[in-house]
Structure 1
């Protein structure tokens, strides 16, 4: 029986749409390598910290399942910032992945992060770092953006070595500029290339 084709999971939460746009650009970078980009989101949560959204979202990306996460060859995770941290819906989902942690299901798989903020100094880097912490606990291999990408030094908006970022403006009206878009695609492509290499190596060892 043939094994399923590897894919990179793009897991995100987006409140006003900017992070969702970043997710689609990340997916473009992944698909440039020939790998599938599986784009998934998470439901809203109530103030009582329980899921409140319908089982299937009416529009946009479908909700992520545990199997989507378990079987991915790589992961790129995105969230808007909330006081310098990832948004509660995404953290709620990640907090429920202890069974994957116990099984080591995500160990040795590449992972990267991205974020969108209302202000330039609204916690982009701390949000990216906070998102990396649970991925490290899962044993994932963190992927950043090296300064070989000239956009990191040329940008007047988002862009960090810790992951792709976007400055949406206080009204959320500022779209992704060319530098921010290029870094989103570059992040997806880097994770996809590493996923292909590691997947091929694992397949060779198993055979």
Structure 2
């Protein structure tokens, strides 16, 4: 069954919660399934100390996950208006896929969370689009027909779903945020399905 890769990094759990909501949206589309993957934390000794399999949560991503997907949603907490280093570290290892055009023509989308409402959500989302565009992916966001964008007081942008996690990073996803995540998953899966049948 064709799948949408939902690849994320999450430090305190909010981005992982968003990934699960996006997966729900993907699986609302008949004949499509979600594949959730994460990346390990990174430090100067990361590769020597991280276990090959995480103790909990989603498995670590491999290049074959990207080769096999029919579309991808990329998620990260906001770090100074940009994606977190662990996700960027993995993306920087995908040159072999760029050389072969593996992701070219596949739909791609992005999502993020931040501790403050104006914590760089939109710049993070745009920065995550750039490597997807270099890979030739077709970027999709959220249209304003998703009416939650018009009245949300938490996260949500036309560039992709976002979440206001709060200063202590403990605020749960709001109902608007959940709906926008699911809407992105459904939109991504619908586009991927149409491209497969074209």
| Range class of TM-score, shorter chain | over 0.9
| Gap change, CA 1:126 and 1:25, over 3 Å in 2 | same
Residue 71 (1) aligns with residue 68 (2): yes
Give the drift of 1:132: 0.3
Residue 16 (1) aligns with residue 12 (2): yes
Cα deviation 1:79-115 (Å, max 9, x = unaligned): 0011000000000000000000000000000000000
Look up the SS of the partner of 1:166 in the other structure: strand
Partner of 1:81: 78
| Gap change, CA 1:50 and 1:58, over 3 Å in 2 | closer
Cα deviation 1:18-62 (Å, max 9, x = unaligned): 00000000000000003110000001111x275342100111100
Once residues 24 and 190 of structure 2 are traced to their aligned partners in structure 1, the CA distance between those partners, rounded to angstroms, is: 13
What TM-score do the two structures reach when normalised by structure 1? 0.93
Q: Which has the larger radius of gyration?
A: 1
Partner of 1:165: 162
Give the drift of 1:10: 0.4
Look up the SS of the partner of 1:85 in the other structure: coil
| Gap change, CA 1:196 and 1:49, over 3 Å in 2 | farther
Partner of 1:96: 93
Equivalent runs, 1:1-207 vs 2, <5 Å:
5-34=1-30, 35-46=32-43, 48=44, 50-51=46-47, 52-201=49-198
Cα deviation 1:164-191 (Å, max 9, x = unaligned): 0000000112111110110000001000
Once residues 17 and 171 of structure 2 are traced to their aligned partners in structure 1, the CA distance between those partners, rounded to angstroms, is: 12
Cα deviation 1:112-160 (Å, max 9, x = unaligned): 0000000000000000000000000000000000001110011000000
Give the drift of 1:71: 1.2
What TM-score do the two structures reach when normalised by structure 2? 0.97
Give the drift of 1:6: 1.1
Once residues 87 and 50 of structure 2 are traced to their aligned partners in structure 1, the CA distance between those partners, rounded to angstroms, is: 13
Once residues 66 and 26 of structure 1 are traced to their aligned partners in structure 2, the CA distance between those partners, rounded to angstroms, is: 21
Q: Give unmatched runs, 5+ long, in structure 2.
A: none
Q: Give unmatched runs, 5+ long, in structure 1.
A: 202-207
